[in-house]
């Protein structure tokens, strides 16, 4: 018998609640240290908080322009120029979004048609595939090669068909911490040359790269710049994930289509916060310190794990560290992550959830965007297991 009063046909029958919500809830329930969902446990700069109040008090509380506050877009254009040496028109090529996820969803909705194929690399951040399915597209999975999470571009080339509409890249990569290199972007450039394939480049961790590695934005590559939509996040850069603020950049002909969807999905984004970020950006370039800030956290956490039986996998970017537990247990990563939360009071994210095939390499993701006390306590517990 139908359990609901109205018969429903789900658009996403295989999609449940995101792993981030599940693991954070489990962490709360068991009073565990929550290194699962990625968010900082420290606050943003006082100055930035004060600016939000200032602009609310100043009466900037009505709708912002659909594409975002002009001043903010101008400043972002300057930032992109200084970081990636790419000139863009702030009027036509930048749109402020309600976070990275909205940017990704909007881009996929705007460009992916029914039966189009979209290449995604797995492990894949969990919002890509549902957005592709909602657009009626087919996600085509390409595994990143364990344990380096590198891309076999020859394999990617073989998967390209007349139906391939988009390739989604993500660097620095969540969940693996892998950072794409120049060779990767050049390979992508070659593969897409003379095709109608678009690139959706998720660069929300652009300012969190380590060991002198540089962030290879699509904007550094002239040919990619002509076919790319890139997504950014103020949440990651300013420690304000709850503000749900980000932006998208694309050449004008793509941004025009992006905005057609954006205007009916959210119309425009939170006004006083846009004023606050714009003013903050004028005065401070503190995103330039972020690499060092998070590298110290990574190093603190991993050196505290020296005696542990967990194996530290290389992490070149993002605020996530992968740990392999293959010397500790043969359990599935989902089972092990749940037991770790319940029995040892540490919540993490099992990597298999980011694969369609549920590939299980016995690896868990830990968020190190936390204060030293928390990281120390977590490492002490992990070292005893
Ligand atoms: N990006 C965050 C992570 O990877 C989670 C964001 C969310 O919960 N939707 O943990």
How far is it, in rounded angstroms, from Cα 287 to Cα 301?
22
Query: How confident is the model at residue 179, as a pLDDT?
Result: 98
Domain check: are 307 and 275 in the same one? Answer: no
Task: Give the burial class of 148: count Cβ atoms within 10 A of its Cβ; 0-12 exposed, 13-18 middle, 19 or more buried.
Answer: exposed
Each residue's pLDDT tens digit, 55-82? 999 999 999 999 999 999 999 999 999 9
Q: Could you tell me what percent of the chain has a pLDDT over 90?
A: 95
Q: Whose CA is nearest to atom 3 of ligand 1?
A: 38
Domain check: are 178 and 196 in the same one? Answer: yes
Strands 138-143 and 164-170: unpaired
State whether the beta carbon of 20 lies less than 6 angstroms from ligand 1: yes
If you average pLDDT over residues 231-257, what whole number do you get? 98
Q: Whose CA is nearest to atom 1 of ligand 1?
A: 38
Final residue before a domain boundary, out of 234, 251, 284: 284
Q: Which two tokens stand for residue 345?
A: 């009071």
Q: Residue 342's pLDDT band (boundaries 50, 70, 90)?
A: very high
Query: How confident is the model at residue 311, as a pLDDT?
Result: 97
**Which residue of 241, 367, 368 sits with most ligand 1 atoms within 8 Å of its CB, as the best mutation to test the pocket?**
241
State whether the beta carbon of 228 lies less than 6 angstroms from ligand 1: no
Query: How confident is the model at residue 284, as a pLDDT?
Result: 80
* Å from CA of 373 to ligand 1 middle: 22
State whether the beta carbon of 37 lies less than 6 angstroms from ligand 1: yes
Query: How confident is the model at residue 283, as a pLDDT?
Result: 84
Query: How confident is the model at residue 1, as a pLDDT?
Result: 55
If you average pLDDT over residues 142-162, what whole number do you get? 97
Each residue's pLDDT tens digit, 35-61? 999 999 999 999 999 999 999 999 999
The alpha carbons of the chain give a radius of gyration, in whole angstroms, of 21
How far is it, in rounded angstroms, from Cα 179 to Cα 365?
16
A 10 A CB-CB count for 197 gives 18
Each residue's pLDDT tens digit, 248-294? 999 999 999 999 999 999 999 999 999 999 999 998 888 999 999 99
Q: Could you tell me what percent of the chain has a pLDDT over 70?
A: 99
Domain check: are 153 and 234 in the same one? Answer: yes
How far is it, in rounded angstroms, from Cα 69 to Cα 219?
22
2 pLDDT above the threshold of 70: no
CATH code of the domain covering residue 269: 3.40.640.10
Q: Whose CA is nearest to atom 8 of ligand 1?
A: 20
A 10 A CB-CB count for 31 gives 9
**Ligand 1 atom closest to Cα of residue 20:** 8
Neighbour-count burial for 5-17, b at 16+ CB within 10 Å, e otherwise? eeeeeeeeeeeee
What is the residue-averaged pLDDT of the chain?
96
If you average pLDDT over residues 320-335, what whole number do you get? 97
CATH code of the domain covering residue 336: 3.90.1150.10
Q: In this structure, is the dihedral angle defined by the CA atoms of residues 300, 305, 310 and 311, taken in order, positive or negative?
A: positive
Domain check: are 150 and 272 in the same one? Answer: yes
Structural domain contains residue 125: yes
116 pLDDT above the threshold of 90: yes
Domain check: are 296 and 231 in the same one? Answer: no
194 pLDDT above the threshold of 70: yes
Query: How confident is the model at residue 3, as a pLDDT?
Result: 77
Lowest model confidence (mean pLDDT) among 12-21, 88-97, 342-351? 12-21
How far is it, in rounded angstroms, from Cα 43 to Cα 368?
15
Domain span holding position 333: 19-44+288-383
How far is it, in rounded angstroms, from Cα 280 to Cα 273?
10
**Ligand 1 atom closest to Cα of residue 127:** 9
How far is it, in rounded angstroms, from Cα 112 to Cα 254?
12
* Å from CA of 126 to ligand 1 middle: 9
Task: Give the burial class of 112: count Cβ atoms within 10 A of its Cβ; 0-12 exposed, 13-18 middle, 19 or more buried.
Answer: buried
State whether the beta carbon of 38 lies less than 6 angstroms from ligand 1: yes
Domain check: are 277 and 296 in the same one? Answer: no
* Å from CA of 222 to ligand 1 middle: 31
Final residue before a domain boundary, out of 284, 313, 329: 284
Residues 6+ apart with CB under 8 A from 358: 352
Query: How confident is the model at residue 258, as a pLDDT?
Result: 98
**Ligand 1 atom closest to Cα of residue 367:** 10
Structural domain contains residue 218: yes
Domain check: are 313 and 193 in the same one? Answer: no
């Amino acid at each position: 018998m139908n359990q609901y009063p109205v018969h429903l046909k789900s658009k996403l029958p295989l999609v449940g609640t995101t792993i981030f919500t599940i693991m954070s809830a489990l962490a709360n329930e068991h009073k565990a240290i929550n290194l699962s969902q990625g968010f900082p446990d420290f606050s943003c700069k006082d100055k930035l908080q004060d600016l939000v109040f200032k602009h609310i008090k100043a009466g900037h509380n009505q709708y912002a322009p659909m594409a975002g506050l002009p001043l903010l877009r101008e400043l972002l254009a300057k930032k992109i120029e200084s970081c990636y040496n790419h000139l863009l028109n702030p009027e036509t090529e930048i749109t402020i979004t309600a976070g990275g996820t909205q940017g990704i969803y909007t881009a996929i909705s705007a460009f992916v048609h029914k039966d189009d194929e979209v290449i995604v690399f797995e492990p894949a951040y969990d919002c890509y595939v549902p957005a592709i399915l909602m657009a009626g597209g087919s996600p085509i999975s390409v595994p990143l090669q364990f344990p380096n999470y590198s891309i076999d571009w020859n394999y990617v080339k073989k998967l390209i068909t007349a139906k391939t509409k988009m390739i989604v890249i993500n660097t620095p990569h969540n969940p693996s911490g892998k950072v794409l290199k120049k060779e990767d972007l050049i390979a992508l450039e070659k593969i897409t040359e003379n095709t109608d394939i678009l690139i959706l480049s998720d660069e929300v961790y652009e300012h969190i790269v380590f060991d002198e590695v540089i962030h290879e934005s699509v904007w550094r590559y002239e040919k990619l710049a002509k076919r790319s939509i890139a997504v950014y996040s103020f949440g990651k850069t300013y420690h304000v994930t709850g503000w749900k603020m980000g932006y998208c950049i694309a050449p004008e002909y793509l941004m025009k289509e992006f905005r057609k969807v954006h205007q009916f999905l959210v119309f425009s984004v939170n006004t006083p916060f846009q004023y606050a970020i714009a003013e903050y950006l004028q005065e401070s370039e503190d995103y330039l310190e972020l690499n060092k800030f998070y590298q110290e956290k990574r190093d603190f956490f991993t050196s505290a794990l020296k005696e542990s039986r967990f194996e530290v996998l290389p992490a070149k970017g993002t605020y996530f560290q992968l740990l392999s537990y293959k010397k500790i247990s043969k359990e599935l990563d989902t089972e092990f992550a749940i037991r770790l939360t319940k029995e040892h009071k540490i919540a993490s994210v099992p990597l298999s959830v980011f694969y369609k095939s549920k590939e299980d390499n016995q690896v868990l993701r830990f968020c190190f965007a936390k204060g030293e006390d928390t990281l120390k306590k977590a490492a002490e517990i992990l070292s005893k297991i």
